[in-house]
Chain A
Amino acid sequence: MNYTEKLQNVTVLGAAGKMGSGILLLTALEMADLSLKPENKGKLFILNAMDTSSEALKGLMKYLKTQVLKAAEKKVIALRQVYHDRADLIDNSEIIDQYVEDVLFIVRPTTNIEAAYESNVIFEAIKEDPALKVKIFNQINQNNKKSPWFCTNTSSIPISLLDTDANLDGRVLGVHFYNPPAVQKLVEIIQTKATDPELVEFVNMLSKNLRKVLVPSNDFAGFIGNGHFMRDALHGINEVEKLAANHSFAESLYMINRITQDFLIRPMGIFQLIDYVGIDVCQYIMSVMNPYLPDENLHSHLLDQMLALNVRGGQNSDGSQKDGFLKYEKGRVVAIYDINKKSYVPIADIQAACDEKLGVLPASCQPWKAVVGNKNKEEVFKTYFNELKTHESFGAEIARNYARRSKEIGIKLVLDNVAYNENDVNTVLLTGFFHAYGPINDYL
């Protein structure tokens, strides 16, 4: 396997999407850095940014320029060495501008799938639709004489299904980046028994160069990340439905969202996370995973209802959050959707009563932001969960059950051979979901 050669012609499918744009950015930087090495002088590097929307590609190029500029500013010390032979580039500003130009020169925005027919590697980040993915892989595979490698960003579809249905002979690997790919450290790697080992070696090298944390997962629908997230979300939804027997729907949702953020010391509440990913995306992932889970029903009527009411969550193209279970103003949660009233209830109307019902947080509780970077966070969590264990409040009781369920989900992923070990599950939650502690722990 010649790493550089493989990266001389690459296509990203769905390049203007949320995941695709991040993968494109990372790949573009890596390809540009390779192209600037003295031994690669004169070699042509091409990165096709393929998307069906010309409008979105226009936005992509703008995004790319901004992000590459930021990257260049950050690594200007190294870039001064890279461009040391260029007598015309003296100031940092000249060097940074040249690097941005060199990266963007590699990227070719296109709406034509034919661009991928010359590529050695195809990164795919299109809609989570097995039939669509199979159709496109098949088309490229039939027209591309280079026997290309396919790296799919699917978060839920079994890789072996894509391999078999698109006749790829093991030339496909699950390379699941987390949102946003440029920031999140985690990449889940999913290989099948048939996967070409050279492809795995290539992705390992690429991920290492991109300074990602790799976690191998077995080829089982949902893999580790969604295997945990979807079940965790479903548990949250069930808890809301239980609470709704005695409280309004909005109150119930507010309480579970707050418990999952503040009492469990997570970066955001479970419903904010569902909104972030997109209610439609969550529903779709569950529907993709569910047929492979004979012993459980990974499905939520609540998600169906929300979508029927056209409340979808997800993000706008500028990265701002769309309204979903929660309503957002300048990134802050201001209201909660009440499915019974079919409207948003301002947080101010329900907050005080709900917070009183939940009770005060245990005294040693700290916000996620204050703990996540703490080198001694293990001790902080030991103390906190010890206190939570016996804390008598409504919120604490639900939080304890929630944490236990989260651990149970994690352990089941290992028992079901989705994850190779407990540590991998924890790594996925720590690096892909920014949790401050892994779900499989002895805190409770």
Chain B
Amino acid sequence: MIAGYNTISMGTGRKEFSPKKPRPDLEDYFKEAGQGVLKQIGGAQNVDEAVIGNFIGARFNRQANMAGFVPYIDEGLRYKPATRVEGACGTGALALVSGIKSVLAETADVVLVLGIEVQNTVKAIYGADILAAAGWAKERKDGHAYFFPGKFSDRSKAYAAQFDKEKTRSAMAKWFENAIDNARTCPTAQEYHNTTKDLIACGMNAPNPKGFVDSLNIFDCSKVSDGASAIAVVSEEGLKRCSIAKENAIEIIGFGQAEEDITKPPADPTVLSTTKEAVRKALASAGITKDQIGTVECHDCFTIAGIMATEAIGFAEHGKGTDFVLAGNTTRNGKVPFNTTGGLIGWGHPTGATGVHQAVTIWEQLTNQAGDSQITIHPDRPYGLSINMGGDDKTLVSIVYKKAE
């Protein structure tokens, strides 16, 4: 992978964001992120095909057929193959996998992968209806007004009840603090401008079931975001074609994909079992162990999902993810820095773009291009891991990366 590019994750929290003022639209994000990659790889002529990841522009933007925007990015992309993929919030990584498979099948040497979502077109209360499509539609009627926060509130409630309520809340607050601390190092992050002093105090706020959900406060949740991320998936041949030095590339060492039945509730709400399976497959495919991982981009759509991800990867036993987080292991100077540009809570969650943003962040970190967000990658832990999740632990992709040699 080479030439990653992130637009700003736009939404509440950014100084330039105002719901009443005009702001960039789909077209602008397509162009910015797409051109951002093309400029680094020597132009559109080097691209063999493109994959677009978009969750649900058909409702947020009255726009489907998103592949049609590929030639809009650059005329040089006209008549090249383009595909749009969708897997709810796991869309971005599905787009990556789609590109990876093309390269592996040797049908392409350079694939432009772009994830995009523009969600601030409706108020959050109506956005919740749209995002609920990531779950089983037949569950919507009995679901919470804020459908997905409702789902993860149930998980958080079950986790707190089974283990330690106070500790769970404290670990969730700690997760939030890490997310914002990291976002403050990244100029494109939605929380880049966050100046709140006592983040833990925010995170410790008691949930208000009357105004929101039972077991999450608003700081536990990723916000509504607009944005796009793009990266090029290339073969060795493609790398040469684009005239990019190996040291500026990362290698895909392995990946794991797993799907769970959307109509079934989780067997154990305190476990992200599909995530666990996808990570297991990814590590097996890469032939590495969790102890060789130097940084993780996990799908923390909610703080509790971040904590459960540490368990799904195997860094902590079931019920001990809270201790793992509270001990500071996931901070930027910890044992395994997680979500070093803020993750979904800190950087933002433009749903269809998130999986691609994760890959771009790992590309930046492993190639030493992360600017103020840069962490130290130790030689004994040279691998990056990403986990992108669609729905309530339903559509999973996990990828293992390493700096190209």
Contacts and interface: CB of A to CB of B under 8 A. Distances in A.
- Are the chains A and B members of one assembly? yes
Interface of A: 73, 76-78, 80, 87, 90-93, 96
A92 B126 contact: yes
B142 to A, nearest CB: 8
A90 B140 contact: yes
A90 B141 contact: yes
Nearest to B147: A92
B129 interface: yes
Contact of A77 (B123, B129, B211): B211
Contacts of A92: 125-126, 128-129, 145
B324 to A, nearest CB: 33
22 contacts: A73-B123, A73-B125, A76-B125, A76-B145, A77-B145, A77-B146, A77-B210, A77-B211, A77-B212, A80-B144, A87-B141, A90-B140, A90-B141, A91-B129, A91-B132, A92-B125, A92-B126, A92-B128, A92-B129, A92-B145, A93-B126, A96-B125
B134 to A, nearest CB: 14
Of listed A91, A92, A96, residue having the most chain B CB within 10 A = A92
A93 B129 contact: yes
A91 B144 contact: no
A96 B145 CA distance: 11
Given A77-B210, A77-B212, A80-B144, 6 more contacts: A73-B125, A77-B145, A80-B145, A91-B129, A91-B132, A92-B145
Interface in B234-268: none
Contacts of A77: 144-146, 210-212
For chain B, the bracket of interface size reads 10 to 19
A295 to B, nearest CB: 50
A76 B145 CA distance: 7
A320 to B, nearest CB: 17
Contacts, number: 27
Contacts of B132: 91
Q: Is the interface of B mostly helix, strand, loop or mixed?
A: loop
A78 B123 CA distance: 18
A79 to B, nearest CB: 8
A87 B140 CA distance: 11
Contacts of B212: 77
Nearest to B126: A93
B235 to A, nearest CB: 45
A81 to B, nearest CB: 10
Of listed A73, A78, A90, A96, residue having the most chain B CB within 10 A = A90
Nearest to B132: A91
Interface in B168-200: none
Of listed B128, B141, B144, B210, residue having the most chain A CB within 10 A = B141
A91 B125 CA distance: 10
A87 B138 CA distance: 11
Contacts of B128: 92
Interface in B135-181: 140-141, 144-146
Interface in B99-133: 123, 125-126, 128-129, 132
Contacts of B210: 77-78
Nearest to B137: A90
B57 to A, nearest CB: 18
Contacts of B144: 77, 80
A52 to B, nearest CB: 36
A215 B192 CA distance: 47
A45 to B, nearest CB: 25
A298 B129 CA distance: 58
A76 B147 CA distance: 12
Contacts of B145: 76-77, 80, 92
The 6 closest A-B CB pairs, nearest first, are A91-B129, A77-B145, A76-B145, A90-B141, A92-B129, A90-B140
B39 to A, nearest CB: 41
B212 to A, nearest CB: 8
Nearest to A89: B141
Contacts of A87: 141
Nearest to A73: B125
A76 B125 CA distance: 8
A264 B123 CA distance: 39
A154 to B, nearest CB: 35
A19 to B, nearest CB: 28
A275 B129 CA distance: 44
Contacts of B140: 90-91
A80 B132 CA distance: 15
B216 to A, nearest CB: 14
Contacts of A90: 140-141
A93 to B, nearest CB: 5
Nearest to B213: A77
Contacts of A76: 125, 145
A76 B141 CA distance: 13
A76 B140 CA distance: 14
A110 to B, nearest CB: 33
A339 B144 CA distance: 60
Nearest to B210: A77
A73 B123 CA distance: 9
A78 B125 CA distance: 13
Nearest to A81: B145
Contacts of A91: 129, 132, 140
A74 to B, nearest CB: 9
A80 B210 CA distance: 12
A93 B210 CA distance: 19
A383 to B, nearest CB: 22
Of listed A73, A76, A77, A80, residue having the most chain B CB within 10 A = A77
A96 B123 CA distance: 13
A93 B128 CA distance: 10
A73 B145 CA distance: 10
A242 B382 CA distance: 80
